Structure 1
């Protein structure tokens, strides 16, 4: 069936005073950023679809009147947009991403794991209990800054805490660029609390550890159970895994909502800019030190140590910056080395194959 995709191209005229009904693609998050990458003829031949789930068996995609599976071939993330080739699905074209969350794969693996693409706002979720951890929150915020996605810290289980203010104060001290909200996801007005970042056509994601209430927030936004939920363990306030795969859901008015499994480990790589943005106060002080290679320990003219002694910089924050920056440099170098080895191995295979063909030709 031939479809008219001209309505999905960027508008060049004067906006009409009435708001038209949102199209099927707009409900899936189609925006001018993606439309400017293609023309109408391309859209007609290879209509756009969005990745809603990624499995070992392939990727679930949705489009205008289409809901199907693409066999595994492309390196896809939930939230990606593709130009779907019906005849050869594995030849579908991946559109440029607005944003991309990725991390070094958990464990000892030396490769990246794609988390989500084309997210507009990420809600970093944590609980007002023993699971609250500033260093962990900083990792998520640095990841968001690196991905150029607006982060918001959401403190859940406020109803189970006698005083939420200490948690709010610690969270707000992480960055003056990150809003902080505390709520009870089971009884409060979640949609209202998140409305400033949940406009139709936007895509939001919930990131955090297990059991902090991400799935409960998703269900509250939809007014129905979209994701399974469980309580937390009483012995350590840690959560139980409920969500087992990243899933992108859509509300009727066109808000994309991404629920993700809890992350026990978040190793950053290729995130130097995100860490610098998060710790901009430390970076600015370090730039004023007398020596360019100042280690911020006993060197004369160290502005960082001076700030700590004056009480304007927390020594613990400096140590977290050092640790995270060192980890990021190590991971980035390790993954770069792995890519170089794979590239050299590929060249060797091509050389051996070419030489083998040459010998066969001389027989």
Structure 2
């Protein structure tokens, strides 16, 4: 069911008649990054709209007094900004993104799946139960860091365990770059503890597995129960897919919230710098190896192996780093190879068409 966004559109009003309020576009997340890409004439001729929902049948977009649906496009995802071409909606211009979350899509064809665009903060949500998994958290964090999105780890369901300190310590040990917040997804905790990142006009995303409380957190920020939630299975602490599509929810007077379906498989592709940022210490060590192409296995002069032997780095963390690096390299190489093949095939088709035209 498509949500009605009409309450967020229309004329901009000052609450007391004196202080100007954010414009409709600013409430949707419009920032100088996007404004500098267009001219004043563009706003009149092709008004900016933001993609708030993606369906198989089309793109739900809203803007200043605009609420409509555009034809589906493979190159557009939720959170994107477009310059609306009213005469030919297929030709609406996609503005350069401030950030982009993506992963290798499940399946054998190694396509890239766009998750969301123009996110300011990514809340990586996990529960203090069997869902908690350091390796999975590292994958989400690498995606966020690669996209220059501020990541924050959120631990939910801490009230269901006797001592949440172990989960907090394990999460905090992943990276000094990432704050860890423990909260109750119900009640006032989300609004109070996440206020630093949930400023008006900022777009935040809740990422994580099904059942960790992403929809509950979105409802808490919005002050509604609009999004359906479900309990986890007690046997294995796994949740059911309550959210079935990625959708932006605009919090009145606050931020824009992206709720996403749970993702247990997060395959790495084109995130080399994100992995390097997350494992900054291991990356720095690797530059001290004797050989530039050192695989950190049996090569002489390996700084990584020397640090491991000296007890300076954790073996399990090293194994996860190597796995992510290998996976990212394989998926990125496979993607580059597929793009090369597609480009070569397209060139071949064009050459054949030219030959046929000459014969005709």
SS at match of 1:215: helix
Residue 102 of structure 2 corresponds to which residue in structure 1?
A: 102
List aligned pairs for 1:43-192, cutoff 5 A.
43-73=43-73, 75-192=75-192
1:47-95 deviation per Cα after TM superposition (whole angstroms, max 9, x unaligned): 0000001122111000011111001245101100011011111111111
Distance 1:204 1:251 in 2: 11
Deviates more, 1:283-292 or 1:108-117: 283-292
CA RMSD of aligned residues (A): 1.6
SS at match of 2:60: strand
- The answer as to whether partners of 1:28 and 1:254 remain within 8 angstroms in 2 is no
Residue 193 of structure 1 corresponds to which residue in structure 2?
A: 193
Residue 203 of structure 1 corresponds to which residue in structure 2?
A: 203
Give how far 1:304 is off: 2.1
1:162-216 deviation per Cα after TM superposition (whole angstroms, max 9, x unaligned): 1111111111111000000111102352111101111111000011111111001
- The answer as to whether partners of 1:48 and 1:82 remain within 8 angstroms in 2 is yes
SS at match of 2:168: helix
Distance 2:73 2:236 in 1: 41
Residue 258 of structure 2 corresponds to which residue in structure 1?
A: 258
Q: TM-score, normalised by structure 1?
A: 0.91
Give how far 1:325 is off: 0.3
- The answer as to whether partners of 1:123 and 1:154 remain within 8 angstroms in 2 is yes
Distance 1:177 1:35 in 2: 30
Deviates more, 1:196-205 or 1:71-80: 71-80
SS at match of 1:268: coil
Residue 348 of structure 1 corresponds to which residue in structure 2?
A: 348
Give how far 1:340 is off: 1.1
Q: TM-score, normalised by structure 2?
A: 0.92
Distance 1:119 1:269 in 2: 19
1:109–1:93 CA distance, 2 compared to 1 (3 A): same
Give how far 1:109 is off: 2.5
Please list every run of 5 or more consecutive structure 1 residues that lacks an aligned counterpart in the other structure. Answer: 1-7, 9-17
Give how far 1:116 is off: 0.4
1:250–1:61 CA distance, 2 compared to 1 (3 A): same
Give how far 1:234 is off: 1.2
Distance 1:156 1:254 in 2: 22
Please list every run of 5 or more consecutive structure 2 residues that lacks an aligned counterpart in the other structure. Answer: 1-11, 13-17
Give how far 1:217 is off: 0.3
Deviates more, 1:232-241 or 1:309-318: 309-318
SS at match of 2:106: coil
Residue 33 of structure 2 corresponds to which residue in structure 1?
A: 33
